[in-house]
Amino acid sequence: MRPFQRLAIDKNQRTIKSTSMTARSIATNIEIESPQDKLLGRLCSILSDYLDQSQINEVIRAYEYSAEAHVGQLRKTGEAYICHPLSVAICLAEMRMDASGIVAAILHDVLEDTLISKKELRNTFGSEVTELVDGVTKLSKIGNKPHAEAHAENVRKMILAMAKDLRVIMVKLADRLHNMQTLGVMPSKKKRRIAKETIDIYVPIANRLGMNDMRHQLQLLGFAALFPMRHRVLQNAIKKIRGNHKELVDTIESAIKNRLLEANLKCNVTGREKNVYSIYQKMLNKRISFSDVADIYAFRICCNDEATCYQVLGAVHNLYNPIPGRFKDYIALPKANGYQSLHTVLVGPYGVPVEIQIRSHKMHQISESGIAAHWLYKADDEKGSSFQDRANEWLRDLLEIQKTVGDPQEFIDNLKIDLYPQDIFVFTPQGNIIKLPRNASIVDFAYAVHTDIGNSCVSARIDKHLVPLQTKLENGMTAQVITAAWARPNPLWLNYVITAKARSGIRNFLKHFKQQEAIDLGKRLLEKELQDFGLSVDEIPEPRLLELLTLLGMESMDELLEDIGLGNKMPFLIAKRISQEDIQATVKLEDKDENKKTPLIIKGTEGMVITLAKCCHPIPGDSIIGYFNPGRGIVVHHHECRNSKESRSKKTNWLDVEWSPEITGEYPAEIQVELLNRQGALATIISTISSMDSNIENVQVIAQDDSVCVDLIVLSAKDRVHLANIMRKLKKLSIVLKLTRIKA
């Protein structure tokens, strides 16, 4: 190993490891000669509060090892590279991370940025520290992949390591925090990219793990780097109004304290200033000005226990009137990250809104540290355990997702979906609570209960009433999923599921069953065509089948059926070839037939009879489904058509279909027009439709009185956009009272 500067303590002692002095005395007696010496002294001072001397000596040994490995390396700031690992270790030491975690923090870049191998590191510091370091280390062999793909691969690696040991993400978050604190020397483009990654990935992870203090620091640093001008303007605006606010804040704070004293409730009351990023997000999301956000005053009340929190809530509601709909009880129903508090908004003096957060001291400690509380407050095992259980549950879900996702970018997309929840609480019939993101559907709920339940769900009951699977859930509902043994996931579910677990579960099932589904469909389509020739798939003579497969360049019958099911081969042409004694003689003739084929209505249905359902009149651009009817071919319905629900409930015959991109022509669509019953009104409607390059196929008067007439009109439309333009033109007519499209 190369020589490097050691810390001199005594003339007769060459290393720190051999001394018996305490870490605190080291910190005060070392002659400070460099920034890294100062940082090591500060680290040892913090560690001496909760680690014993042997553990601190191990940390110092890790520092010496890392300093030698990184010797000669400098950061963009110009300081020695070892200053970065030390700063990361100090951040973790302030959270009272254990000795192995601190050692891993000091060594976290040696595998990535030095010649030290994983085997050498394991031999020197053991498997526990090595696995932590490896979990934080980026993948080195990513080839020439684009940055987004490489970043996705690295994040997935980190998440998998994090699932094994939560200290991995603690080290990574501290690493990212120090990188953000020293981001100013980076080029502008790289600075923005790192800041965006931080806000998109690391801030939500810190939030999900309940580490609010870390989250706020990363948010502010990321916002300042991503939008420096906005950050500066908002910061200056906050400084200007700070003096004006102080008097009113003091007035409200005194009023709250006096009311609590009258109620004999001992609590700490503090007024808190909203941070720049929080104000920016509120302005952005609610589309309000800075003055509207700045008029909101926020206070935090910390009590001794949970029961006192509710007593305080009653006291402040008796002081100022609460605003209806703005009360949230996160104590009874904690957030996904374990956060607990009572939130309420009151109408304060001069009509200004006053935000109040009420929590116990224990809840406040946990809300700031989250999963870090496992180390910070480990004297009380119960304080950190529940939060670690929540984190482990979330990580188990992520592991299940990653097993079913091959593409790293898809994993990142699923992770982002999971990191931005606005929770609702839905009850099972047994009274268990399931947390879901807002706007979650029955399918999301089914997959949250269990993957097998999601894969086999067909409908559900909400509060004992039958509802379709796309129904959106709301807070407090009781949902019961109805399953069937024959049921399987529908690709259309991907249009309305929003949880990562449901999305990955559906995609995984479809990925594995796509081939078998195509084979089954191909067999049904070929069977139908062979009936006209008095044959069936199972009765095809072996020599004729082998001759056909050889001509088509295929190895098995399943491969042929799959090609038919996927729409690559026309079933009626294959059936005709099979029926011919001389298969080769028909090849040229059929190739000519293929060249003369007309544009398809539905993609992949060459040779099939297509019927557009008259009950809902689907047109190109509509979301559609189809089912195979032996007498009518494939019958296509609008996805919202009530009559299609009967076909969906059947075990077989229903298909996922989509419009062909080459589709041309005009198709019937039905609209209902409610118009004033005036002379010439219908003529005006017909004339307007005609001016939009559309023909009327049928008109039916379904209701009429002296003032209003309701007509059903079937007209021709090229596609959904064409129909929308026609309806938009009709709505502008003064005689039209109401206009709707009939889809069922």
Q: What are the Cα distances from residue 430, in Å, to 427, 460, 480?
A: 8, 15, 10
Closest to 494 (Cα-Cα) out of 452, 443, 437: 443
Distance of CA 435 to the CA centre of its chain: 14
Q: How far apart are CA 354 and CA 298, in angstroms?
A: 6
Q: Which of 79, 94, 98, 112 is catalytic?
A: 112
| Number of other residues whose CB lies within 10 A of the CB of residue 501 | 21
The full length of the chain comes to 744
DSSP per position, 572-598: HHHHHHHH-SSGGGGHHHHHHHHHTPP
> Which residues have C-beta within 8 Å of that of residue 300, sequence separation ≥ 6?
269, 270, 272, 356, 357, 358, 359, 364
Q: What are the backbone angles phi and psi of residue 345, rounded to the nearest 5°?
A: -125, 130
Dig out the tokens for 474 from the structure: 């709301």
Residue 113 a catalytic site member: yes
Q: What are the backbone angles phi and psi of residue 636, rounded to the nearest 5°?
A: -105, 125
Closest to 298 (Cα-Cα) out of 259, 330, 339, 346: 346
> Which residues have C-beta within 8 Å of that of residue 606, sequence separation ≥ 6?
567, 569, 570, 571, 573, 597, 600
Q: How far apart are CA 24 and CA 44, in angstroms?
A: 6
The residue type of 77 is: T
Q: Is 431 helix (H, G, I), strand (E, B) or coil?
A: coil
Distance of CA 646 to the CA centre of its chain: 33
Bridging pattern class, strands 297-303 and 353-360:
parallel
Q: Which of 79, 98, 113, 606 is catalytic?
A: 113
The residue type of 373 is: A
> Which residues have C-beta within 8 Å of that of residue 581, sequence separation ≥ 6?
none
Q: What are the backbone angles phi and psi of residue 11, rounded to the nearest 5°?
A: -60, -30
- 8 Å CB contact between 304 and 360: yes
Q: How far apart are CA 251 and CA 253, in angstroms?
A: 6
Q: How far apart are CA 653 and CA 648, in angstroms?
A: 9
DSSP per position, 49-89: TTS-HHHHHHHHHHHHHHHHHTTT-B-TTSSBTTHHHHHHH
Distance of CA 420 to the CA centre of its chain: 6
Q: How far apart are CA 495 and CA 441, in angstroms?
A: 11
The residue type of 427 is: F
| Number of other residues whose CB lies within 10 A of the CB of residue 290 | 16
DSSP E strands in 168-292: the ranges are 268-272
Q: What's the maximum distance between 2 C-alpha atoms anywhere in the chain?
A: 114
Q: Cβ-count burial of 167 within 10 angstroms (0-12 exposed, 13-18 middle, 19+ buried)?
A: buried
Q: Quickly count helices (H) and strands (E) in the chain.
A: 30, 19
Dig out the tokens for 404 from the structure: 């079913």
Dig out the tokens for 491 from the structure: 């690709």
Q: What are the backbone angles phi and psi of residue 662, rounded to the nearest 5°?
A: -95, 15
> Which residues have C-beta within 8 Å of that of residue 95, sequence separation ≥ 6?
170, 369, 372, 375, 376
| Number of other residues whose CB lies within 10 A of the CB of residue 156 | 21
Q: How far apart are CA 174 and CA 696, in angstroms?
A: 68
Give Rg (Cα) of the chain. 34
Positions annotated as catalytic residues are 112-113
